[in-house]
Chain A
Amino acid sequence: MTDIQNHEEAIVSETLYDRLGGEPAVNVAVDIFYRKVLNDDRINGFFDDVDMETQAAKQKAFLTMAFGGPHSYTGADMRKGHAHLVKMGLDDSHFDAVVEHLGATLVELNAPQELIAEVVVICETTRNDILGR
């Protein structure tokens, strides 16, 4: 990647992330979001075997990415990280449920609707990698 691309990407991602409130906002959102996920019987089975702390760190990395913040995930990481869940039956309905909880979390935190829409767009770019298609 050239420096110019890097630079441009930095500006674009900084905008949404900063407008959402950056790292402090992620810290507030992550507990609300993860509590919703663990309370949802449609999807909490996928989280049964993982340690809370490890999982909370992953959720934080995920939210940072979804908020347009700094991350180092590639499509290949997403595929690899979710392959075992796809084998357990992870499909579009589960992906939709997670995005729904993320949207609801942002609503709860009074984020403006247009920023929530941008977050949903970022999530959508990961759908096929996460579902291994």
Chain B
Amino acid sequence: MYKLTIEENAYSCQADETVLDALLREDVAIAYSCKKGTCHSCIVSSPDTTPPEAAQAGLKNTLKKLNYFLACQCHPEQDMTIKLPDQAAFYSEGTVVVTEMLNRNTLLLSLAFKDTFKFNAGQFVNLQRADGLTRSYSIANTPQESNILEFNIRRLPNGQFSEWLHNEIKVGDTIAVSEANGSCFYLPEKNDQNILLAGTGTGLAPLAGILTDALTQGHSGSIYLFHGSREVEDLYRIDEMQQLDEEHANFHYIPCLSGADSPEGFSHGRVNEVALASLPDLKGWRVFLCGNPDMVKQMKKMTFLKGVASADIYADAFLVSPA
């Protein structure tokens, strides 16, 4: 018999019970459907325990790494702390240490934390204003930089939250920040696999984090980064990416412009069109897609049709909240 802990409550899991059986017997509100490991409705995580292998069968690698598992397939092998998907997120306080413009509409915001902030490059957090207004933003840096989180914040027309960050926030202010979420990040396994990174606008933020992470961990396969926007004034970190391209033989940076003008050194066209035209065969590749939801949706399908395994496609579509 093992102990299952959810927030302040402890439950017992009998020898022949799955975690789902035990929680249902104890009247814990948990979503479930097939009880066979197929539908994934009962997915939960255990922040402090590696779940049994059988309980993670069929999950994405990145979710496995975050200790997600299927409650219906889990016969515990030790006491477990369990986090339900709808459990209130834990917020910590970040202090603004940097605000500067990266281009005409994108703000670099850096927040410092008292303790080390646990995350994987490419994940996102929710930022919350004092009045409760909350928005999701991708983290732009890598965990090596210990207790700092960086964000690239694009000013949206009538965007309540981005306007606030652009116009009012200053160094020394504090913002509530949720734990890191999302399964779009780099894992060092298969380090000779080729990687395609494609993003629009501030989709560069998580992709640059993933790129830095992969390079730091000695990824040996080719890495292609396609970053697109309409006009050159809306791209950013161009010099930094070009320098990485020069320093690493396996990294290729392709900035793309879809507007009328494309100066020398920039590919002309939408990022998805340029990427797909440059890389005819994607069999065996790993793909990361961030930014415009239509681009992400289209690229998921096209890269899959060009041979990428569905398990190797990681995506983060940036949805715009209604003003």
Bind each other = yes
Give the B-binding residues of A (Cβ under 8 A). Answer: 23, 27, 30-31, 34-35, 38-39, 51-53, 56-57, 60-61, 64, 69-72
Inter-chain contact total with CB atoms closer than 8 Å: 50
Q: How far, in angstroms, from A56 to B311 measured CA to CA in the complex?
A: 10
Q: In the assembly, what is the distance between CA of A30 and CA of B38, in Å?
A: 13
From A23, A39, A72, give the contact of B39 (CB < 8 A): A72
How many residues in B have their beta carbons less than 8 Å from beta carbons of A? 19
Q: Decide: A61 and B38 in contact? CB cutoff 8 A.
A: yes
Q: Which residues does chain B contribute within 8 Å of A69, judged by CB atoms?
A: 36, 38
Cβ of A71 and Cβ of B34 under 8 Å apart?
yes
Shortest beta-carbon distance from B38 to chain A in Å = 5
User: Apart from A31-B309, A52-B304, what are 9 other A-B pairs with CB-CB below 8 Å?
Assistant: A30-B310, A31-B310, A34-B310, A35-B304, A51-B297, A60-B58, A61-B38, A70-B38, A71-B34
Q: Tell me whether B301 is interfacial, beta carbon within 8 Å.
A: yes
Interfacial residues of chain B within 260-318, with CB under 8 A of chain A in the complex: 297, 300-301, 304-305, 309-310, 313, 315
Establish whether residues A52 and B301, one from each chain, have CB atoms under 8 Å apart when the complex forms: yes
**Contact present for A52 and B313 (CB under 8 Å):** yes
| A23 engages B310 (CB within 8 Å) | no
Interface residues of B in 49-81 (CB under 8 A from A): 57-58
Question: A52 CA to B33 CA in the complex, in Å?
Answer: 21
Q: How far is the CA of A23 from the CA of B56 in the complex (A)?
A: 12
Task: With a 10 A CB-CB cut-off, give which of A27, A31, A52, A57 has the most chain B CB atoms.
Answer: A52
